[in-house]
Amino acid sequence: MFDKTTLDKIINKTLDTVGESREQIFEIGEKSRQEYNTLEKELMDVRLKVASIIEKSDRTQLHARFARTRLAEVSKSFDRYSSEEVKSAYEQANNFQIQLAVLQQEEVQLRERRDRTERRLHTLKDTIERAEQLASQMSVVFNFLSSDLQQVNEVLEDAREKQAFGLKIIEAQEEERKRLSREIHDGPAQMMANVLLRSELIERIYHDRGIEEALNEIRDLRKMVKNSLAEVRRIIYDLRPMALDDLGLIPTLEKYLKTFEEHIQVPIAFRHFGKERRLDQKFEIALFRLVQEAVQNAHKHAKPTEIQVKIEIKPTKVIMIIKDDGVGFDTSSKKEGSFGLIGMKERVTMLKGELTIQSKVNVGTVVLIDIPFSSIG
């Protein structure tokens, strides 16, 4: 007989173990990232020191060459110079030679330190990526186990199907979080880190190269901050377009597609037919997301030279067509990583609509979405 209590105990114990493991992996990733940032700053300092040592060595080598030439002249005409002049020429040549040897040794040590730091940074980068991957996988497992498995005794007959679908949803959520995390890390966060590093160098540049070079660095920083602000605004807009609440579906789609067109450098032709009207907020969001997912899929997978988006609000239905002239695909075969289409199908199903995908290899793809007006209300 099925023992729900025993199963609950097993699940709870497993959740605790998985949760602890996930936290440990996250901590490893965070510590590695902190060390990576510290070493990155250290590497920049070492590179500056190497450049400075090379410059000093070149100057010292030049002085040493002149000193040796002077010593050779004194040695050839020994009787024409006083003992003090001979001694001075010898000591000067010897001092420059010693300074050059010290600088060369310091350069070797700095180069070795630079190489060690670069190797360590490479190792840390691999560790961070691996930790992120493991943490994401552990999150999928944790979320999966903490979901409806607690009522598994009530859904045993169709558990396999629901679990498979639930796992896909969780994987998509985790992938979206990972994507957003990477966008922030590789975009605004990286820019801010670079701003911090370069801002610390401005004072040094001012002392070493003068105010004009420092002002140029400040101008570059201003551009970097401006780009970072634009990237943050883009990420926020992708998460939730605020214009949808104020302007409605059609104006928001026009604005989004124009911005997306500028971002991907691919022409997007947008046309709408019928009477423009406000729909229920949740359905406007759903329709917007369907278009967003379709054009992003086209850009990501189809490599098109043009994308067309058409929407028509009829008295009884809403029809949306997203067409591209990209590489296309075989609709009869399941493609790896095609969860974007699965998500669109599920969203359309929730709206009691129909989703039709027509595609031909090397010709393009047409996505037809038909949502009945009765489901919109």
Q: Which tokens sit at 71?
A: 């010593």
- Predicted pLDDT at 5: 67
- Predicted pLDDT at 304: 93
At residue 354, does pLDDT exceed 50?
yes
Q: Tell me the C-alpha distance between 79 and 85, whole Å.
A: 11
4-236 classified as CATH 1.10.287: yes
If 0-12 CB within 10 Å is exposed, 13-18 middle and 19+ buried, where does residue 246 land? exposed
Stretch (H or E) spanning 95: helix 83-145
At residue 336, does pLDDT exceed 50?
no
At residue 303, does pLDDT exceed 50?
yes
pLDDT range class, residue 325, cuts 50, 70, 90: very high
pLDDT range class, residue 155, cuts 50, 70, 90: very low
Contact 359, 366 (CB under 8 A): yes
Stretch (H or E) spanning 324: strand 317-324
Domain ranges of the chain: 4-236, 242-376
C-alpha distance from residue 193 to each of 37, 123, 287 (Å): 8, 20, 37
Q: Tell me the C-alpha distance between 215 and 40, whole Å.
A: 24
Which residue type is seen at 281?
Q
Q: Tell me the C-alpha distance between 65 and 60, whole Å.
A: 9
Q: Tell me the C-alpha distance between 266 and 328, whole Å.
A: 17
Q: pTM above the 0.75 mark? A: no
DSSP one-letter code for 305: S
User: In 3D, which of 311, 307, 322 has the Cα closest to residue 284?
Assistant: 311
Q: What is the mean pLDDT of residues 21-43?
A: 84
User: In 3D, which of 252, 21, 264 has the Cα closest to residue 139?
Assistant: 21
Q: Output phi, psi for 270, to 5 deg.
A: -115, 130
At residue 307, does pLDDT exceed 90?
yes
Distance of CA 227 to the CA centre of its chain: 15
Query: If one looks up domain 242-376 in CATH, what number appears?
Result: 3.30.565.10
Selected residue with higher pLDDT from 370 and 131? 370
Q: Which tokens sit at 248?
A: 């409605």
- Predicted pLDDT at 157: 43
pLDDT 10s digits, 75-96 = 777 677 777 877 888 888 888 8
